[in-house]
Chain A
């Protein structure tokens, strides 16, 4: 199975900050990488698919990049509603696997 490792596991930041979350795959997965946001007690929400494609309705402050084994999710200017947990997920091969999550909270 492909292992996904996110860093950091937690992150404190302020409104207006630029934030970057990293995800590393245990083998090359091309651009078969998705990012999700999950708020407490809610279902996850798709943000980015195919490493860099923005899902419809997601603010342009979110962006994704990377290929192979190393990927990043960037939030260009944090808004209050962005404080949540973020997960990467590979769709290169089953079983699909998620990173352990990055919890983003208010500094």
Chain B
């Protein structure tokens, strides 16, 4: 069964750090592009960032509000994706989802087809 399980969420003070993990199973993680998406309480979805597979360069992209503060990385030997979050702000409070970023066969049409259940991050003093 294809599965993503996030962990590491919790309560942190403004300016603090947190590291989220996403354990993948049921597919070849090393070939997958992976994405983090977040959802603030009562709000819509926000794409946080993506990491390509190492075969495709392993590069990362981020949304502007998190650039310089968040870092996405991967450990293919452990089938695990990470999101290191530093200098956290109150507005980073959200449920964070890990997803696969899959290309339709033979195309460059990417979509997020496998989602974890999410982990909650609360930034508050």
List chain A positions with a Cβ less than 8 A from chain B.
1, 31-32, 34, 36, 38, 42-46, 49-50, 53, 55, 87, 89, 91, 94-101
Residues of B within 8 A of A46 (CB): 111-113
Residues of A within 8 A of B113 (CB): 46, 49, 55
Evaluate contact between A49 and B109: CB separation under 8 angstroms: yes
A100 to B40, CA, bound (A): 12
A34 to B101, CA, bound (A): 12
> Number of contact residues on B: which range applies?
20 to 34
Evaluate contact between B118 and A31: CB separation under 8 angstroms: no
Given contacts A34-B111, A50-B109, A95-B64, contact A43 B44 (CB under 8 A): no
Asked whether any CB of chain A lies closer than 8 Å to the CB of B47, the reply is yes
Name the contact of A31 in the complex, choosing from B37, B109, B110 (C-beta under 8 A).
B109
